[in-house]
Amino acid sequence: MNTDVPEPITGRCGYIAIVGQPNVGKSTLLNHLLGFKLSITSRKPQTTRHTILGIKTLDDVQLIFVDTPGIHQLQKKAINRVMNRTALNAIHGVDVVVFVVDRLQWSEGDQIVARQLKNSSIPVIVAINKIDRIAEHKDLLEYLNLVQNHLPDAELIPISALHGQHLDMLEQAIIRHIPQSEHHYPADQITDRSERFLAAEIVREKITRQLGAELPYQVTVEIEEFKDEGGLKRISALILVERDGQKKIIIGAGGQRLKKIGQQARLDMEHLFDCKVMLNLWVKVRSGWSDDERALRSLGYVD
């Protein structure tokens, strides 16, 4: 008879979904919690389009953060419906949800998220972000009461993701909900995403930041070549748009805008991959890709 007693589990490990409307600071929060820039950021709403795992190991505790696309009301195209579905699905099967809201602005979109969370048994922490922009303390207190009325069982923590205010308090609140478990990833791993995926996201971030208000939402990036040659990575990226006019915007006069996007993306890749990068960019028109679920699946939008 086998009398071996299994070793007790001494560590803790759990999943944390970061959810909220577009542009409330979810990706900035994840990057600051990790101490590493994993998710791309910009002032443009819906910058995050994919679920991204960010892994942080603190001695015996492993936190697996799930950064999600912003949940929004407008679902005119397939890409919007897919992103909403992805974000709402992330709520299920995690150990705790961090619901990020933007200072004093409770909207119908926040209410949609709150309804989903209210019907769930998963612990919820509401992170009221950008408190550095709140002038009056009484305004914050009134807003905290409003949020608590919508989510009476949630824990509320005012933060500034950009400036790192109260993130230690938020992290400790998260850890209290993390169950005993073996760690799922090695201690030095920071994401489950491939270098190929991260390269595509870097290019998309530079497009987003370069174009600002001119940015067409129907832009995505597909990596066609990713070769590791020791101290050099050769990367070819295809920027997909839906119309010729969008292609002209991204290329710019004399190709200068595309050149600048490539230069900035290459520098970030060299920093991330810690090697030289040879980056080639092309822009191609693929009509209707953002409203075609089959095309979205081939481009990695449907997990």
Closest to 86 in 3D by CA, of 57, 43, 134, 46: 46
* 88 and 223 inside one domain: no
- What is the sign of the dihedral through the CA atoms of 25, 172, 89 and 192? positive
What pLDDT is attached to residue 193?
86
Q: What is the pTM of this model?
A: 0.79
Question: Which residues have a Cβ under 8 Å from the Cβ of 18 and sit 6 or more positions away?
Answer: 26, 29, 30, 65, 66, 67, 68, 98, 100
Q: Does a structural domain hold residue 100?
A: yes
pLDDT of residue 179: 95
Number of domains making up the chain = 2
Nearest to 134 by CA among 114, 110, 163, 109: 163
Asked if 199 and 170 sit in the same domain, the reply is no
* pLDDT for the residue numbered 47: 47
Residue ranges of the chain with per-residue pLDDT less than 70:
1-9, 40-50, 69-88, 90, 212-218, 288-303
Determine the structural domain holding residue 45 and report its residue range: 12-175
| pLDDT score, position 113 | 85
The rounded distance, in Å, linking the Cα atoms of 262 and 283 is: 12
What pLDDT sits at residue 286? 82
Decide if 28 contacts 108 (C-beta within 8 A). Answer: no
- Give me the pLDDT at residue 39, please: 77
Residue 291 maps to which CATH number? 3.30.300.20
Final residue belonging to a domain, choices 146, 175, 204: 175
As a whole number of angstroms, the distance between CA 103 and CA 141 comes to: 11
Please tell me the predicted confidence (pLDDT) of residue 45: 44
pLDDT in tens, 127-171: 999 999 888 889 999 999 999 999 999 999 999 999 999 999 999
Is there a single domain that holds both residue 35 and residue 153? yes
